[in-house]
Amino acid sequence: MNKQHLPTYQDVKEAAERLLGITIRTALLRSVELDRATGGRIWVKPECLQLSGSFKIRGAYNRLSTLSEDERRRGVVAFSSGNHGQGVALAAKLLGIKATIVMPKQAPRIKIEKTRSHGAEIVFFDVGTESREEIAREIAGQRGAVLVPSFDDAQVMAGQGTAALEAIEDLAVRDVTLDAYVVCAGGGGLMAGTCLAFDALSPRTELYTSEPVGHDDHARSFALGQRQTNAAEAPASFCDALLVPTPGELTFAVNRRYVTGGVAVSDTEVADAMRFAADHLKLVAEPSGAVALAAVLSGKIETRGREIGLIITGGNLDASDFADILTSPKA
C-alpha cells in the first residue's frame, strides 16, 4: 500500500480554503433540452470553464501549496496527457515554482501549447515505446524535484473534491438533494475527492463512474471488490485522459467504500454528448470531459423523475478536432 494517508473530508475543506480566490466556482447549469431528453432534472458542473480548462488545477494547486519552502525551491515534475500537466504548470506559475511536465508526443496541440504558455518545461515521450512514469521519476531524482502524481496523492484527491463540495453547497441553497452524481474516471482521483464530499454532506446520493468502453477498470473493480486491469488489447478510444489501465491504489481504497457502481460509454456516445453540450449547453467539452454526460444521455444511468448531477471535466481539444466531431453524422 502507498504509505500516504488516505484523505478525509477535513482535507477537502482545507483544500477549499486554499483554493478560495484562486480557482473559479463554476456555476451549476440546467437545460430544458437535457431534462427533456432524460426525463429527469439534470445539474451540470462545467469544469471545462475552470482555470486551465479543466478541474485539474484544483488538485494541482492544493498539492503544490502544501510544499515546504525547500521543496518549492527544488521544483516539481509531473507526467500527463495534458490536463494534469496544464494544472501543475499553472499552479507552479502562480506559486513561483519551476515545473517540468512529461507529456506524450501525441498529446493534443492545444494541451502542449497551454502547458508551455504557463512557463513549464516539457519533456516528450513516445507512448508506444517509453514509460512516462519512469522518465518523470528519473528527472525528479536527478534534480531533487517533487513528483506530483495526477491522482494517487492525498492532497491531489482532496483538491479535486472541492468541485463536488461546491456542487453540493450550491444545490443545498436550492433545497435540492441529488439522487445520483456521475463522474469520469481515469485514475480515480476526482471520484475519490467527490466521495469524501458526498459522504459528509449528501450520503444518500448514489455515485457512479463513467469510462470508455474497454477501459472500464473501475466498473469491473467495483463489481469484483478488487482492482482490475484493462486488457492490453483494449480498443482504442479518443478519451485520451481516461486510459489509465488500473484504478489508483489510494483512490480505489477510498472509492470502493462509497461508489455505487460504474458504466461504460462508446466513443460514438461521447461524440453525441459533445455535440449536445455544444448545441444546448453552449460548452466545449473534450472527449474525456464528456463521458459523464454521455452516460446520462445514453441511458446508462437511471434518470427519469430523478435529480441527477454530473461533471464536465475539461474542454481542452484542438479546434480542428472539435469541428470534425461537431460536423460528423450523429449516431
For residues 49 and 74, the answer to whether their CB atoms sit within 8 Å is: no
Q: What is the pLDDT along the chain (331 residues), one digit of tens a residue?
A: 456 789 999 999 999 999 999 999 999 999 999 999 999 999 999 999 999 999 999 999 999 999 999 999 999 999 987 899 999 999 999 999 999 999 988 888 888 899 999 999 999 988 777 788 899 999 999 999 999 999 999 999 999 999 999 999 999 999 999 999 999 999 999 999 999 999 999 999 999 999 999 999 999 999 999 999 999 888 999 998 999 999 999 999 999 999 999 999 999 999 999 999 999 999 999 999 999 999 999 999 999 999 999 999 999 999 999 999 999 877 5
Instruction: Give every CB contact of residue 294 below 8 A, 6+ residues apart in sequence.
Output: 210, 265, 269, 270, 272, 273, 300
CATH 3.40.50.1100 is held by the domain 9-55+153-327: yes
Question: What's the CATH code, domain 57-147?
Answer: 3.40.50.1100
d(CA 184, CA 292): 6
Q: Where are the domains of the chain?
A: 9-55+153-327, 57-147
57-147 shares the fold of 9-55+153-327: yes
Which pTM does this prediction carry? 0.95
Which value, to the nearest 10 degrees, does the dihedral of the CA atoms of residues 168, 169, 171, 174 take? 160
DSSP E strand stretches across 80-235: 99-104, 121-125, 146-147, 180-184, 206-212
Backbone torsions φ then ψ of 223, nearest 5 degrees: -65, -35
